[in-house]
Amino acid sequence: MKTIIVTGGAGFIGANFIHYLAKLKVSYRLVVFDKLTYAGHLESLEGLPNAQKAVFVKGDIADEKAVLKLYRDFKPTYVFNFAAESHVDRSIEGPGEFVTTNVMGAFQMLDGARRYYAGLSTAAKKEFRFLHVSTDEVYGTLGKTGFFTEKTPYAPNSPYSASKAGADHLVRAYHETYGLPVLLTNCSNNYGPYQFPEKLIPLMTLNALEGKNLPVYGDGGNIRDWLYVEDHCDALWTVMRKGKIGDKYNVGGDSERTNKQVVNTICSVMGKVMPAGRNQNLVKAGKRDYTDLITFVKDRPGHDRRYAIDASKIKRELGWKPKHNFNTGIQTTVEWYLHNQDWCQKVQAGQYNRQRLGLAAKAK
Ligand SMILES: NC(=O)c1ccc[n+]([C@@H]2O[C@H](COP(=O)([O-])OP(=O)(O)OC[C@H]3O[C@@H](n4cnc5c(N)ncnc54)[C@H](O)[C@@H]3O)[C@@H](O)[C@H]2O)c1
């Protein structure tokens, strides 16, 4: 049986990707390689049918020996490199870990692939692919108009996006220099099940449920293009099988929303699923409506104003398009967090209480 390695497979998108492949009943052995940081949880991989259960290997993508062993032991046909430090606020708080995992880790995964690939038969070489999962944040920020295309120059503004940009350049270089069969995807903001509750949508949902403030950064006018995570998984699987070697593909949901709009939508879904008057936490907090919990807080330093993806290349060349729209996707997502309180509690236990991070003062 051929093998797919998924690094970061215990994180938000990686775990959804494993569930997605399991649903497709792909005939590959699935191997998850994950360091299990605060963002990685084996609970997110529970409930898979036996035949589709992933082999789990605990390890660090920045650890050369562990990465070489991974390639040696599992001889993959496909590698999906999801593993990363992914939260902008944490990158402001402590950028070092982002450089280590996102740049050095990507380097070790690529260099391990280069050495492994060199030893493959001609037939195996034809099939092997390395797909690196990146973000639209590498392009920087947009004004009121325009879209990021695959040709937009990189202009990252946070330690997170800068470290992701560094990895993207290495991916390109490994193709140009060594002929490694790489693919690169730059995706917009994802939402859906299994996202660690430090990110906007699960954070707001759980705070609303508990009658806590809903902290909106700055004036709430920052715009992101939201994509339901299953659509991202579908795009990644499409690019892996049909993408042109050495190419990059933008992936987006055609769903631009301000943060304020997203939070208002969550409040309105909450109002339908759990009416305000029946939520004792809200009643105790003296609030009559979920929107009464919205609080505007100090903005994130270097906060990009607008991201918007032009995804026409992947649509035109590979026939992918998102299947979910924001209104139905957000409803499913909010309900998932409400119905999976066990998961929410387990992943936060003892390490995170939804505190504000990343308010570093500017250097003088
Ligand atoms: N979440 C988004 O909206 C979004 C959008 C576009 C691109 N991306 C990219 O998609 C990928 C996955 O993002 P996510 O939101 O699932 O992140 P996440 O933070 O939820 O999960 C990251 C996973 O990687 C693991 N990990 C971290 N450091 C590691 C290391 N050194 N070695 C091995 N494993 C390690 C963690 O344990 C965790 O399981 C990232 O590369 C991210 O940059 C995310």
Percent over 90 (pLDDT), the chain = 92
The DSSP H or E segment spanning 240 is: helix 229-242
Q: DSSP label at 101?
A: I
What residues contact residue 189 under an 8 Å CB cut-off, 6+ apart? 224, 225, 226, 227, 307
pLDDT digits (tens, 9 = 90+) for 70-109: 999 999 999 999 999 999 999 999 999 999 999 999 999 9
pLDDT for position 238: 98
Q: What is the mean pLDDT of the chain?
A: 96
Domain 3-196+226-255+302-325 part of CATH 3.30.210.10: no
For 251-302, the three-class secondary structure string (H helix, E strand, C coil) is ECCCCEEEHHHHHHHHHHHHHHHCCHHHCHHHHHCCCCCHHHHEEEECCCCC
- The Cα–Cα gap between 248 and 225 comes to 18
Q: Which residues pair with 183 in a beta bridge?
A: 131
Ligand 1 within 6 A of CB of 13? yes
With 0-12 / 13-18 / 19 or more C-beta atoms within 10 angstroms meaning exposed / middle / buried, residue 109 is buried
Q: How big is the CA angle at 354 (ends 348 and 359), to the nearest 5 degrees?
A: 135
Q: How much is the average pLDDT of 224-249?
A: 98
Sign for the CA dihedral angle at 232, 42, 163, 142 comes to: positive
Instruction: Give tens-digit pLDDT for 5-52.
Output: 999 999 999 999 999 999 999 999 999 999 999 999 999 999 998 888
**Structure confidence at residue 273 (pLDDT):** 96
Parse the chain into domains and list their residue ranges. Answer: 3-196+226-255+302-325
Examine the pLDDT at 363 and tell me if it is beyond 70: no
Give the distance, in angstroms, between the CA of residue 14 and the centroid of all CA atoms in the same chain: 8
Radius of gyration of the chain (CA): 20
| Chain centroid to CA 87 | 9
The answer to whether the CB of 39 is under 6 A from ligand 1 is yes
pLDDT band at 241 (very low <50, low <70, confident <90, very high): very high
How many Cα atoms are found within 13 Å in the side-chain-facing hemisphere of 107?
12
pLDDT at residue 52, rounded to an integer: 85
Residue nearest to atom 25 of ligand 1 (CA): 8
Three-state SS annotation for 65-91:
HHHHHHHHHHCCCEEEECCCCCCHHHH
State the pLDDT at residue 340: 97
Ligand 1 binding pocket mutation candidate from 16, 82, 184, 236 (most atoms within 8 A of CB) = 82
C-beta of 36 in contact with ligand 1 (< 6 A) = yes
Res 50: pLDDT: 84
Instruction: Identify the pLDDT of residue 362.
Output: 60
Instruction: Give me the mean pLDDT over the 333-353 stretch.
Output: 92
Task: Check whether 112 has a pLDDT greater than 60.
Answer: yes
Smallest CA separation from ligand 1 atom 7, residue: 135
- pLDDT at residue 364 tops 60: no
Distance, in Å, from the CA atom of 111 to the CA atom of 292, rounded to the nearest integer, reads 52
The helices-and-strands tally (H runs, E runs) of the chain is 14, 13
Query: What is the average pLDDT across 103-123?
Result: 98
Please give the structure tokens belonging to residue 221.
Answer: 């006018």
pLDDT, tens digit, for every residue of 140-186? 999 999 999 999 999 999 999 999 999 999 999 999 999 999 999 99
Q: Is the pLDDT confidence value at 360 over 80?
A: no
Pocket test for ligand 1, best of 86, 101, 203 (most atoms within 8 A of CB): 86
Question: Looking at residue 361, what is its pLDDT?
Answer: 58
The Cα 212–Cα 215 span in angstroms is 9
Predicted TM-score (pTM) of this structure? 0.97
Q: Is the CB of 10 under 6 A from ligand 1?
A: yes
Handedness of CA 184, 16, 188, 202 (dihedral sign): negative
* Mean pLDDT within 316-327: 97
